[in-house]
Structure formats: C-alpha cells, structure tokens
C-alpha cells in the first residue's frame, strides 16, 4: 500500500513545521507502541539537531497539559483528546496518531493532525502510532528507523488476528527488509521463539484447550512421539532451532489435535491458529529476547510496567551490555509479578463463569497488566468464551478482554462490542477484535458484565 496523497502531503507539512521550529516538546503514549514512537521521534529530532524534550504520559493526562513550547508533537495519542482545549494562539501542534479521531472545534494556533483513519485506512490493523512516526522520519530520509515502525505494529497487536502485517505496516516492513534489518519467517504460532524451551512454549498454547495446555510433561511427550529432540546436548532447544521438517511435523500434529477438539464451524480457521509470520531482527543475537519482534515488544512492556521507560529507550536506541542485564532483571520481575497474580486468581477462585463470558474482578492487579493476565489464563477456563479482567480502582475500573483467536476469526469484533457496552454504562472503550478494553465508572461493573453477556447471546459457542 502506498501512503495516500493527502497523508503524504500532511507528512511533508509536518516536516516543514519541524524544520522551522527550534524548541520542541514531544508527548507520547505510555505503551509499547507509544514508547517506540517516542524513540523514533527523538532519534529524528536529535539527528536534525533540534532542542527537544520528551515525556511519556497516559491518555487521561493529555487534557491537563500546559502548552509552553514553540512546537508540541503528540505521538500515538492526541486524536481521541480535546487538544483544542489546551492549544494557545501562538502554539504549533502536530498530532501523529492512529486512534479514532474526535470531531474538532476550530483550534487556536496551528494544529496539524495526521491520522490514517482520516484517509480511509484502518488504524487498528494497517498502521500504528510508531508507524506514523516512522512515515514522518522517512520524509527526512531516515529509513533505518523502519524496524521500530514494525516493532510498534507488533507491540500494538496489529497482526494479532491474521498473523500478518498488512497495509502501511507491510510497506514499513518492506523498507526494513530492504535494508536487511528484518527477516520474515513463516513459522509456527508459538510465543517465545528465541528464549523459551520448545516444550515450555508449547505448554502456553491456549486458543483451544489441548492436552499440552499448561502441561509441560504432555508437551515433552508430544515432541518425543514426533521424534523431535527437545534437547541438544545439555541445552534445551527453542522453536528457532527446529528444522523446517520438524516444524512441518509439529504443525500437522497440532492441526490434527485441534481438529478433534473444535466445533465443525471453526475447523477452517485451524491453520491460522498454528501458523504466523514471525520477524527476526538480524542485528540481534540469537536466543535473546530482542531477536524476535514479539518478544522484543514484551521486553518493552516489561520496562513500562516497571516504570522504567528510560531503560526501554536505551534499548530501542541501541544500548546493550549493561542495559541488557538491567532488562533481564526487569523481565524477571515482570514474569514473577504475572505468575503471582495468576496464582492469586486461582487460589481465590476469582474466575467466574457467565453464560457467554468469563471474568475476574480484583483490586490487586495493576491496570496495565490486566489484559496480559486475561490472555494468559484463557487456558485455565473455557476457551469458547472471552475472558474479561476487571481492575477495580478508586477512580474507575479498567476492563480488558481477551479471547481465543477462533472467536475473532469467526467474525466477532470484541473491540466494537466492548466500546458500545462501555458507553451504555458511562465509560468508553475499543480496540482489536480479540484484544480490547475499556474504562467504566466505579460501581457499574455488574451492569457492564450483564449487558455484555446479553449482547453475546447467540454469538458464542
């Protein structure tokens, strides 16, 4: 896909504005996409020798900003906020976002909003916030930042449904491939290609409950049955060590196991459950969490959840050595936190079943991992139903939904459903078909669940 002419013109305009400004402030969203977008823009501004500052914030902080700089740039945020409320008559503002844009009143000062949705491009699958930042840096001829545009898309789960990057994302990926930064690999859809022993990785399979799900012993037995060695000397083999032939064997066996388990209407989606396009960063060492882009995005998320965006930026900007040790510590803490919270959900039997959904409600899990945890425990409940995590906090409740890829492949778009239901209880939300979320007012949780359960009548199972 080519950049549409209108967007292209806007990007050139943004370039002009940046070139003619000396004092620049960047605000970016606090998530993998936003942090990466911030890394792209700050690299760009440094290379153009601009004086700039960058800050990473949450969406609800945008409207409290006091504009003080000559030029303010928002990345991965801004479209869904009333920016005109904070604009001043002498402010220049650029928004690079891919979330649904709000209607705008006439702003004071100069406001340039670049958003793919305004040009008929889907912002949840075709381009991310970091992708938009890259398209701008491309106008400055910094094509080498393209790998971060790809990372942003992966971190934003833009390929989560089909396993592929499409639209502008595919163009950005192509730029990166041309430069020899990224290798595209047709692979099995098993997370942890570079760092997890294959039998561990297999045990996390949870789109459908299989004997291997949450069961390492069964995973080893499966590999033995297929004569795929899970060790090489003393070292455990990872997915990236498997030969094509071994991957083919494993693929056919998983397809066979799944065919026995899923209702007939889902059978046609099975190949998509077990295969994907994977992305290797060729400049990174094998067996590190930075070699595979999906694992890289987890590393950035781990930094964020540990309130260590500085470390995420160091890694994105190419620092290694000590930064890698720090990352190891942060990732380990992150994994421990997730494991503890999953244990808590099990111990206190928090997972509750409704007719068409399952949910857990807690005050003890941080907002920004509710979704990750929901995704990790699909395999503990009933994969036929979506799982909803409710993080209850004083200021409101964070809702995260995850589901088996099968439900989304079958055509349910939970992002739009959850958006509508959230509005009915005075909240707001949206996102992808199989990974989405909302904020709802404190006290409306039961009502929300009931409305959602009813809305899913006849759609599930």
Residues near Mn ion (CB under 5 A) are 33, 76, 129, 156
Number of helices (H), then strands (E), belonging to the chain: the values are 17, 15
Nearest to Mn ion of 18, 77 (CB atom): 77
Q: Where are the alpha helices (DSSP H) in 5-88?
A: 5-19, 32-47, 83-86
Counting Cα atoms < 13 Å in the Cβ hemisphere of 383 gives 18
Long-range Cβ pairs for the range 84-93 (8 Å, 24+): 84/108, 84/111, 86/62, 87/111, 91/67, 92/17, 92/21, 93/67
Contact indicator for 152, 33 with CB cutoff of 8 Å: yes
Q: Which residues contact 197 (CB under 8 A, 6 or more apart)?
A: 230, 236, 237, 238
Q: Is 79 helix (H, G, I), strand (E, B) or coil?
A: coil
Phi-psi region of 411 (alpha: psi -120 to 50; beta: other; left: phi over 0): left
Contact 216/177 with Cβ under 8 angstroms? Answer: no
Nearest to 123 by CA among 84, 83, 169, 82: 169
DSSP H helices, 156-243, are 168-178, 198-203, 216-225
Nearer to Mn ion, 154 or 223 (CB): 154
Are 57 and 11 a contacting pair, CB within 8 Å?
A: no
CB atoms within 10 A of CB 105: 9
Please choose, from the candidates 381, 385, 363, the residue with its C-alpha nearest in 3D space to the C-alpha of residue 457: 385
Residue 12, SS3?
helix
Provide the 3-class DSSP secondary structure of residue 428: strand
Helix (H, G, I), strand (E, B) or coil at 348: coil
- Kindly report the number of other CB atoms within 10 A of residue 441's CB atom: 15
Alpha carbon distance 98, 406 (integer Å): 26
Q: Which is nearer to Mn ion, 427 or 430 (CB)?
A: 430
What are φ and ψ of residue 360, in 5° steps?
Answer: -135, 145
CA distances from 420 to 16, 330, 427 (A): 39, 37, 9
């Amino acid at each position: 896909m080519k950049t549409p002419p209108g967007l292209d013109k806007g990007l050139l305009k943004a370039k002009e504005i940046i070139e003619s400004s000396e004092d620049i402030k960047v605000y970016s969203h606090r998530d993998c996409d936003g942090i990466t977008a911030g890394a792209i823009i700050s690299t760009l501004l440094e290379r153009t020798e601009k004086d700039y500052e960058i800050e990473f914030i949450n969406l609800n902080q945008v409207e409290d900003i006091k504009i003080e700089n000559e030029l303010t740039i928002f990345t991965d945020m801004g479209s869904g906020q009333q920016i005109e409320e904070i604009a001043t008559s002498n402010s220049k503002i650029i928004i690079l976002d891919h979330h649904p844009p709000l209607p705008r009143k006439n702003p004071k000062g100069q406001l340039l909003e670049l958003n793919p949705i305004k040009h008929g491009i889907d912002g949840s699958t075709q381009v991310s916030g970091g992708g938009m930042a890259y398209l701008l840096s491309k106008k400055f001829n910094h094509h080498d930042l393209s790998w971060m545009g790809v990372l942003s898309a992966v971190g934003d789960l833009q390929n989560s449904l089909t396993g592929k990057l499409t639209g502008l994302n595919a163009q950005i990926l192509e730029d990166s491939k041309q430069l020899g930064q990224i290798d595209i690999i047709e692979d099995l859809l098993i997370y942890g290609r570079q760092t997890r022993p294959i039998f561990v990785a297999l045990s996390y399979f949870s789109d459908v409950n299989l004997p291997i799900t949450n069961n390492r012993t069964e995973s080893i037995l499966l590999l033995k049955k297929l004569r795929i060695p899970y060790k090489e000397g003393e070292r455990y083999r990872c997915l990236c060590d498997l030969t094509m032939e071994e991957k083919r064997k494993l693929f056919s066996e998983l397809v066979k196991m799944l065919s026995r388990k899923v209702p007939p209407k889902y059978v046609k989606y099975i190949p998509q459950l077990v295969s994907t396009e994977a992305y290797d960063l060729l400049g990174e060492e094998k067996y590190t969490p930075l070699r595979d882009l999906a694992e890289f995005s987890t590393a950035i998320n781990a930094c964020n959840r540990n309130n260590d965006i500085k470390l995420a930026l160091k890694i994105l900007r190419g620092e290694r050595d000590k930064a890698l040790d720090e990352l190891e510590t942060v990732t380990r803490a992150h994994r421990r936190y997730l494991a503890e919270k999953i244990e808590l959900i099990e111990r206190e039997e928090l997972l509750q079943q409704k007719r068409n959904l399952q949910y857990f409600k807690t005050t003890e899990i941080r907002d920004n991992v509710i979704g990750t945890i929901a995704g990790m425990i699909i395999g503990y409940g009933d994969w036929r139903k979506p799982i909803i995590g409710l993080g209850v906090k004083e200021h409101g409740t964070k809702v995260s939904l995850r589901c088996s890829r099968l439900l989304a492949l079958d055509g349910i778009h939970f992002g739009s459903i959850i958006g509508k239901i959230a509005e009915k209880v005075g909240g707001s939300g949206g996102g992808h078909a199989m990974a989405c979320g909302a904020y709802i007012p404190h006290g409306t949780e039961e009502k929300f669940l009931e409305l959602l359960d009813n809305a899913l009548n006849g759609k599930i199972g």
